[in-house]
């Protein structure tokens, strides 16, 4: 009997191993669990996704990360940062953004969902020696803890320009700011006019800024609509400078009543050395009405001959394996 059970176990494990190795597409969602606001990025020929743990604010007190060699098979890295390492953060930790600099990994996040300048919270920074952490508080306090230009200090995105300068784009409540980061990410360098926070809000902006460069042009993207509703979506602008002006071009990611609703708060991954792009985003299954029931997905993002982004088709299949050479 014992040998018979062992044989069954071997067969089950072999079948599982075969199914994993033979997996031809990621499928959406790309990993299990309620996760939102995903930042996709590449470190050392490995794809990484850093999402919000999508739960009620009082439970939203930690971050997990996911890594993959091919965009299809994902490994979970649990609890890379939580409130035990960020003493000033108590709740609502979300929308991470990460950057590597000088062999250190800097993890920017929002916490506490502050509603005024009189509350403790805002945008923080953590640092680690590896992309999977563990991360520790870089400053011991928020990097931004006040409302500048009426922008709630949330939804941060770190952008490295062509000249090596790092900028922080951020903002909720329909206002977006950009600020010039110090080299050690401990604060900001004022612009030439003496200001520190420059508003760059395009028409329709709600939250979730993201930027990338393609063919010398700056593509600035953001989320529109309410994050708990079906009409959450992503729009974009194109400019010659990271400061704009950003004239809204169109909406490129939105719900499909046959697939999912609330498709928004995204990031973008480019396959190194190729004009091959993927959009990483969250959406809500058709069966769900809870605002926090959001899943992380990946689909292809393409451009037309003029450089405009084609509308993204959200799918159940997801993307095929893509290894980094």
Q: Dump pLDDT digits (tens) for 87-146.
A: 999 999 999 999 999 999 999 999 999 999 999 999 999 999 999 999 999 999 999 999
pLDDT in tens, 157-175: 999 999 999 999 999 999 9
Residue 137 designated active-site: no
Q: What is the DSSP letter of 9?
A: H
Catalytic residue among 39, 113, 207, 224: 207
What is the number of residues in the chain?
A: 325
Cα distance between residue 275 and residue 215, in whole Å: 10
Q: Residues 86, 121: contact at Cβ < 8 Å?
A: no
DSSP-derived pairing of the beta strands 198-199 and 46-53: unpaired
pTM of the model: 0.93
CB atoms near residue 61 (< 10 Å): 19
User: Which helix (H) or strand (E) covers residue 2, if one does?
Assistant: helix 2-21
Residue 247 designated active-site: no
Q: Residues 148, 197: contact at Cβ < 8 Å?
A: yes
Identify the CA nearest to 314 among candidates 262, 276, 269, 268.
Answer: 262
């Amino acid at each position: 009997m014992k040998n018979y059970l062992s044989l069954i176990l071997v067969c089950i494990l072999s079948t599982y191993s075969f199914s994993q190795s033979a997996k031809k597409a990621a499928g959406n969602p790309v990993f299990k669990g309620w996760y939102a606001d995903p930042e996709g990025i590449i470190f050392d020929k490995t794809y990484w996704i850093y999402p919000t743990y999508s739960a009620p604010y009082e439970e939203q007190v930690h971050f997990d990360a996911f890594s993959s060699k091919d965009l299809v098979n994902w490994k979970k890295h649990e609890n890379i940062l939580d409130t035990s390492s960020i003493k000033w953060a108590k709740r609502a930790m979300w929308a991470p953004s990460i950057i590597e600099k000088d062999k250190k990994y800097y993890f920017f996040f929002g916490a506490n969902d502050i509603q005024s300048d009189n509350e403790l919270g805002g945008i923080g920074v953590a640092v680690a020696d590896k992309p999977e952490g563990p991360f520790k508080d870089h400053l011991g306090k928020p990097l931004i803890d006040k409302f500048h230009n009426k922008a709630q200090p949330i939804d941060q995105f770190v952008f490295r320009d062509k000249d090596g300068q790092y900028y922080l784009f951020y903002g909720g409540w329909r206002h977006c700011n950009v600020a010039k980061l110090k080299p050690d990410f401990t604060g900001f360098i004022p612009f030439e006019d003496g200001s520190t926070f420059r508003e760059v809000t395009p028409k329709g902006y709600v939250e979730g800024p993201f930027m990338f460069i393609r063919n010398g042009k700056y593509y600035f993207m953001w989320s529109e609509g309410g994050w708990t509703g079906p009409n959450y979506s992503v729009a974009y602008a194109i400019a010659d400078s990271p400061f704009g002006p950003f004239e809204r071009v169109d909406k490129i990611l939105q719900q499909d009543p046959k697939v999912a609703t609330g498709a928004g708060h995204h990031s973008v991954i480019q396959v190194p050395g190729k004009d091959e792009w993927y959009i990483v985003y969250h959406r809500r299954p058709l069966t769900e009405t809870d605002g926090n029931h959001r899943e992380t997905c990946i689909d292809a993002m393409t451009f037309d001959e003029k450089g405009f982004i084609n509308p993204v088709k959200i799918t159940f299949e997801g993307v095929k394996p893509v290894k980094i050479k």
